């Protein structure tokens, strides 16, 4: 039996898109597509989903995207999960 990764391609692609924002704060579709090696139409559909969920926002004037409020709220939703166990000094107090 061959070894297969148990991953979902759409999730991998969405995460690759989010990782593009580690080097720049705002990016256009062409820049993102080029960075991750996908067609612009594919990136557009993924960005529409990420935008709908609040993970990215699009500036209508520049047509560039940046990370949305939802990405920043993730650690606030469940802070104990987001802090690695070796960082016990950073745990939230009850």
pLDDT in tens, 1-60: 456 678 899 999 999 999 999 999 999 999 999 999 999 999 999 999 999 999 999 999
pLDDT at res. 19? 94
> What would the pLDDT profile of 45-86 be if each residue is shown by its tens digit?
999 999 999 999 999 999 999 999 988 876 655 555 555 555
pLDDT at res. 73? 78
Which contacts (CB < 8 Å, 24+ apart) does range 15-19 have?
Answer: 17/43, 17/46, 17/47, 17/50, 17/56, 18/50, 18/55, 18/56, 18/67, 18/71
């Amino acid at each position: 039996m061959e070894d297969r990764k148990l991953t979902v391609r759409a999730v991998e692609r969405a995460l690759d898109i989010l990782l593009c924002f580690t080097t720049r704060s705002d990016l256009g579709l062409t820049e993102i597509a080029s960075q991750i090696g996908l067609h612009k139409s594919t990136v557009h559909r993924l960005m529409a989903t990420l935008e709908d969920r609040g993970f990215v926002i699009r500036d209508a004037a520049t047509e560039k995207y940046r990370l949305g409020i939802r990405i920043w709220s993730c650690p606030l939703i469940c802070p104990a999960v987001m802090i690695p166990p070796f960082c016990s000094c950073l745990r939230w107090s009850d």
